[in-house]
Chains A and B, each alone.
Chain A
Amino acid sequence: MKTDREKLEALRREYLSEELPPELPYVVRAPFHKRRKSRLPQQLLCLAACLCLIFVGALNVSPTFAAAAAQLPVLGAVAQVLTFNEYHIATDRELVDVRVPEVTGTSFPSLEERMNEEIRQKIDDDLAAARERAAEEYEAYVATGGDPDDYIPMMISFDYDVKSCTEDVLSFELERFEVRASGYSELTYYNIDLNTGETLTLPDVLGEDWKEKADDVVYAAIEAHPENFFTADMDGFSGVNESQRFYIDEDGSVVLVFLKYEIAPGSSGILEFPVEP
């Protein structure tokens, strides 16, 4: 027979071992997403409603405007990258800022869905891995006698940048930025042909001799300032391949991107080389 004290203790263990539903983390986070998301769309909707009002008004009153509007090829469908949601986490170990992009308005809903899901998944996975690193570092710091009050949390951010958005091409960058002793950016690029819904590759944008064109530009830059680059025998640049990072800028130029340490010492930072098409 257990004593009363032991019975209560057993019930407490039962209480503490209650299985947690796997969706709990999402349930906990959802109200914050909703709250942060709710402000912007309302303003946008309001703005859109105003524009429609003005537009309808103009169609009604101005025959010239109505005639001009009739010649517009497409009304509405404009590809763009919007902020799907934004959130922040602050603990002793890390400060996290996340802005999740979302592609909308292309003529390819399934591409959008797939791409947006892939981006969200990538951010979730990368963030989880980064937070794990942050926790390990913090524990190592405390375990080796560091004062938790003096600890500088790891900064982790996810953000995006639209490089270009025309009728034919949408090109944007997804950045994961981490600050420890020094900053490091991991960049992922998305280049979409808005006419076909396909992802653009270097051969698509530079033509058959894409490799020569790209290599020439990089080798020319290395030759001009060899001191800023790793040499070939030090794991330096040895030619581009299919997975080369690039984006398409406002002028339609293809810009090759190399991460910090990829082909040059950290002091050179992130390197960009425009290639003439």
Chain B
Amino acid sequence: MAESSLVRLQAYVEEHQAGLYRLAYSYLKNRDDALDAVQESIARAIDRLPSLRSGDRLHIWMTRIVVNECLTRLRRRKPVVPLEDWDGAEEEHDRDELWDLRKSIDALDPKLRTVVILRFFEDRKLEEIAQITRTPLSTVKTRLYRALAQLRLSLTEQEVLS
């Protein structure tokens, strides 16, 4: 493996570690799981470095690895009811007006959730999301509108796209 691409990868992940962690956390909602996922993703990236072509953009490639790692972890997870959903705990939680939306996003199908996280939290362009998830741009748009419908959000076309 070329040492130079390893150096490039290390420089990239060191610079973007906060972003990688937040992305993982937004899926897993657990600090230790998110740290594990970041570490595992980087180890995978190092393994797959030989398949990275020089033209590939690291931020697309690395984001894809983190997203896939998180989705795999979510699938492996046994369905559990988070503690705060039990009676009692709920009352102590600050039920602000964002509470419903937050819960609905977490409950979305992972594919829809990925589009929402990348588009609205990571501020990625739809074209980038298509590359990250390796799906056609039209599919990304469909997923985004389906997600917005399920979240009962009404945004203008401009708000969705920019």
Contacts and interface: CB of A to CB of B under 8 A. Distances in A.
A23 interface: yes
A7 B98 contact: yes
Nearest to A87: B10
B120 interface: yes
A11 B101 contact: yes
Interface in B98-133: 98, 101-102, 105, 117, 120-121, 123
Contact of A21 (B11, B31, B97, B159): B31
A10 B21 contact: no
Contacts of B154: 4
A90 B35 contact: no
Contacts of B25: 18
Contact of A11 (B22, B98, B123): B98
Interface string A28-42: 111110110000000
A15 B8 CA distance: 27
A24 B38 CA distance: 9
A63 interface: no
Interface in B19-58: 20-22, 25-26, 31, 35, 38-39, 42-43, 46
B17 interface: yes
A91 B31 contact: no
Nearest to B23: A15
Say which size band chain B's interface belongs to.
Answer: 35 or more
B33 to A, nearest CB: 11
A10 B10 contact: no
Contacts of B117: 15
Contact of A15 (B14, B20, B121): B121
A111 to B, nearest CB: 32
Interface in A177-197: none
B22 A15 contact: yes
B105 A11 contact: yes
Given A8-B120, A21-B21, A32-B10, 10 more contacts: A1-B97, A11-B101, A15-B117, A16-B121, A18-B25, A28-B38, A31-B46, A88-B10, A90-B10, A90-B11
